[in-house]
Amino acid sequence: MSKPLPTSVRTHFTALRFLLVMTVILGIAYPLLVTGISQVAFSQKANGSIIKSADGKEIGSSLIGQNFNLPKKNPNDPNEQAQPDPKFFQPRPSAAGSTGYDPTSSSGTNLGPNSDVLLKSVNAARASVAAFDGVDPATVPADAVTSSGSGLDPNISVAYADEQVNRVAKARNLTVDQVNALVAKYTESRSLGFLGDPGVNVLELNNALNELK
Amino acid sequence: MSSTLAGWLQALALVGALALCYRPLGDYIAKLLTTTKHLAAERGLYKVIGVDGDADQRWPSYLRSLLAFSAVSVLFLYLLQRVQSHLMLSLGFKAVNPHGAWNTAISFVTNTNWQDYSGEATMGHVVQMVGLTVQNFLSAAVGIAVVATLIRGFTRSKTDRVGNFWVDITRISFRLLLPVSIVLALVLVANGAIQNFHGFHELSTLTGDSQSIPGGPVASQEVIKELGTNGGGFFNANSAHPFENPTGFTNWLEIFLLLVISFSLPRTFGKMVGDNRQGYAIVSVMASFWVASAALMTFFETHPAGVALKAAGGAMEGKEVRFGLWGTSLFATSTTLTSTGAVNGMHDSLTPGGGGVAMFDMMLGEIAPGGTGSGLYGMLILAIVAVFVAGLMVGRTPEYLGKKLGGREMKFASLYILTTPLIVLIGTGVAMALGGERANMLNTGAHGFSEVLYAFTSAANNNGSAFAGITVTSPWWDTALGLAMVFGRFLPIVFVLALAGSLAQQQPVPATKGTLPTHKPLFVGLLSGVVLIVVGLTYFPALALGPIAEGLH
């Protein structure tokens, strides 16, 4: 017979056995159970709220924002600045990844309230957005010149959507009323009427515009 | 509806929901901590691990079990990250580097959930589930177990037994955290949070770019991340990420979840000590600080300051449209007043006032209402100090709930209060003195100093949120903040358990005319004053160099 293990060693073995049992229950069984039920009951949402265009092609997730830029003139030039496509409603600036709206790299800018870098980018965004939409720079809303926390914000404020209506209508040869009707349709109101802020889902709106032809 | 009216309704609905849960949830937790009955599954577990579920431990033995469990957990989590490339569902990610894996292992075991990594670029699904999700449950349970021993210190007399560690964390996990998590994870999924085992899903966007949509068991981790006041996000953007927090409703639900246990525990305390009024007194102090902080944060964020935010015309930098200024302010307040540290907007980009409030919230020691369990034990320590101060004024030996607060008790309480500020201020001082480490700030000037101060405040208080511009992935930062988290978590726990043991041994003294009633508004005011004075005097100089200097910019 060997000597019994000292108490301190036995406590660690107890701890290890406890951790392993709990890992099976909380780390394997629990997520599997939730996944199983989710996949049966809410499969579209559990799999990322993927939406399709009219021709059945997957075009993105309704919860994840995208860029709506013109094709690059020279696709091989990494220094060429992307230009926004006037036919589409434009999202907020994004700090996710080097080109923005990269879901493999969700992030905000983390720039402080007095940051010179942030000040410059806000002023530049205000000037370019105002010129692009043909409005007075002073009226450009805050969300149009700031990056979101995730860099993937799927929404823009109703004010920023309204600002873009004329430009999009003109670029697509649609009436302002037609575009306004779609903006209203893809405006998400507050949850239960009072939780959070309303916003316009940019991808869903642009997808609907494409389908309007 | 105006944003202001909606914001008020949102806050009132939150207060109402928390108030509704206070009694039933608090009573339920009191019952599970005091009943002698075991569930069949629990009995099976005790058999497997070789523990007698009916035998209570002395405080040193309780502490040894807790530390052994934590040490084994750190080691397990470390190894899991180090062998990640050999695991299934690793999404092709490499093993995490040694100092990063050490930092993350400690971070999740200490309920801090500080993240020096970007989830979607570092951790495979198995590490997230089998490693991180498990510690989200168990580190929360440890906090509640520790406060249970302190409460037993008040309720028991002439005994050296303070409870059974294994029984406590098993019951808290099985009877409280797991059932709530299962139900509410499904609610999150129903509102858009993802729950699958996919890798990145490549697709072509509307304009023909390619985009990779991430997958993962997110909702199951998200719910316990909030409920257990953990805060470690599946993704880098944490609760700002639409897959973690898709709507205004999920945002409200997540704020509710991260507050509900800590705000109900004072009821558990009142119930267990046999006087519900004691619980009301404690929860009043917690609630007043929460309300004041939420009001200040919302005021600052809806009145943009700082040249860049003023130029933007609103403090929307780092915030999501769907949550808005009010929904982000409410979250930021609640996450820093608890030990959660999840963020639904980037704290680095808060207004100077808002960032200062977030930091001050953590410096309060996370007691309003604080982390699960740790918030209440922190507040009870301050209550002991408040009773002691009152005792000094009238020149008699103070007593709290019938237990005398003598030299031994006050030593443990004082050590508790000194620990965290020492770690924060020494850590910040050393980092600022080292030129190379200081260079890791993203922002410059007072805001850069705030990034460093915030990092050590967050680590030592086991919060986990950050002024995230700072780069903390170097070996020096991983090590320094890892140590801050270890000492910031376990030293206070040692003092609380020692105090619990010391109180349990005492014979209660009957209340007399000279006893300070600890359930009246007078005591609520006294305790609030003690909280403010202790924190204010400790941190004012550091705050003056950071957020206050910046606010005067």
Nearest to B49 among A17, A64, A88 (CB): A17
Tell me if B325 is assigned to some domain. yes
Measured CA to CA, the distance from residue A127 to residue A109 in angstroms comes to 20
Do A66 and B211 count as a contact with CB atoms less than 8 A apart?
Answer: yes
Tell me if B510 is assigned to some domain. yes
How many angstroms separate the CA of residue B18 from the nearest CA in chain A? 16
Measured CA to CA, the distance from residue A6 to residue B113 in angstroms comes to 33
Tell me if B12 is assigned to some domain. no
Return the closest-CA partner of residue B413 out of B449, B389, B443: B389
Measured CA to CA, the distance from residue B377 to residue A3 in angstroms comes to 40
pLDDT above 70 covers a percentage of chain B that reads: 100
Residue B527 · residue B382 · CB < 8 Å: yes
- Under the banding of pLDDT at 50, 70 and 90, the label for residue B169 is very high
Residue B173 gets which letter from DSSP? I
Confidence (pLDDT) at B6 = 96
Question: Tokens in use for B303?
Answer: 């009145």
Do A35 and B217 count as a contact with CB atoms less than 8 A apart?
Answer: yes
- Under the banding of pLDDT at 50, 70 and 90, the label for residue A77 is confident
Measured CA to CA, the distance from residue B287 to residue B94 in angstroms comes to 45
Cis upstream peptide for B369 (omega within 30°): yes
The dihedral region occupied by A49, where left means phi > 0, alpha psi between -120 and 50, and beta the remainder, is: left
Tell me if B72 is assigned to some domain. yes
Cα four-point dihedral sign A198, A202, A205, A208: negative
Tell me if B2 is assigned to some domain. no
Q: What is the pLDDT of residues B491-546, one digit of tens each?
A: 999 999 999 999 999 999 998 888 899 999 999 999 999 999 988 888 999 999 98
Q: What is the pLDDT of residues B382-438, one digit of tens each?
A: 999 999 999 988 888 899 999 999 999 999 999 999 999 999 999 999 999 987 777
Q: What is the pLDDT of residues A9-26, one digit of tens each?
A: 999 999 999 999 999 999
Number of domains comprising chain B = 1
Confidence (pLDDT) at B170 = 98
Q: Cα–Cα distances in Å, from B494 out to B64, B167, B266?
A: 10, 19, 21
Measured CA to CA, the distance from residue B379 to residue B371 in angstroms comes to 11
Confidence (pLDDT) at B382 = 96
Tell me if B274 is assigned to some domain. yes
Mean predicted confidence (pLDDT) in B240-247: 98
Measured CA to CA, the distance from residue B410 to residue B536 in angstroms comes to 21
pLDDT above 60 (res B45): yes
**Residues of chain A contacting B73 with CB distance shorter than 8 Å:** 15, 19
Do A50 and B213 count as a contact with CB atoms less than 8 A apart?
Answer: yes
Name which of A49, A88, A140, A148 to mutate to probe chain B: the one with the most chain B Cβ atoms within 10 A of its Cβ.
A148
Q: Tally A–B CB contacts below 8 A.
A: 389
Question: Tokens in use for A186?
Answer: 């893809």
Closest residue on chain B to A115 (Cα): B308
Write the CB contacts of B153 (distance below 8 Å, at least 6 apart in sequence).
B162, B403, B499, B500, B501, B502, B503, B504
Number of H helices and number of E strands within chain A? 7, 5
Neighbouring CB atoms inside 10 A of B335's CB total 30
ipTM for the complex? 0.96
Measured CA to CA, the distance from residue B270 to residue B272 in angstroms comes to 6
Domain that holds residue B433: 20-201+211-551
Question: Tokens in use for A185?
Answer: 């349709």
Pairing relation of β-strands A155-156 and A199-201? antiparallel
Whole-number mean pLDDT of chain B?
95
Do B203 and A59 count as a contact with CB atoms less than 8 A apart?
Answer: yes
Please provide the size of chain A in residues. 213
Residue in the structure block whose two tokens are 């469990």: B69
Measured CA to CA, the distance from residue A27 to residue A20 in angstroms comes to 10
Measured CA to CA, the distance from residue B199 to residue A103 in angstroms comes to 12
- Report the run of H or E that residue A199 belongs to, with start and end: strand A199-201
- Under the banding of pLDDT at 50, 70 and 90, the label for residue B342 is very high
pLDDT above 70 (res B315): yes
Question: Tokens in use for B225?
Answer: 């991340």
Buried b (16+ CB within 10 A) or exposed e, B49-72: bebebeebbebebbbbbbbbbbeb
Confidence (pLDDT) at B514 = 82
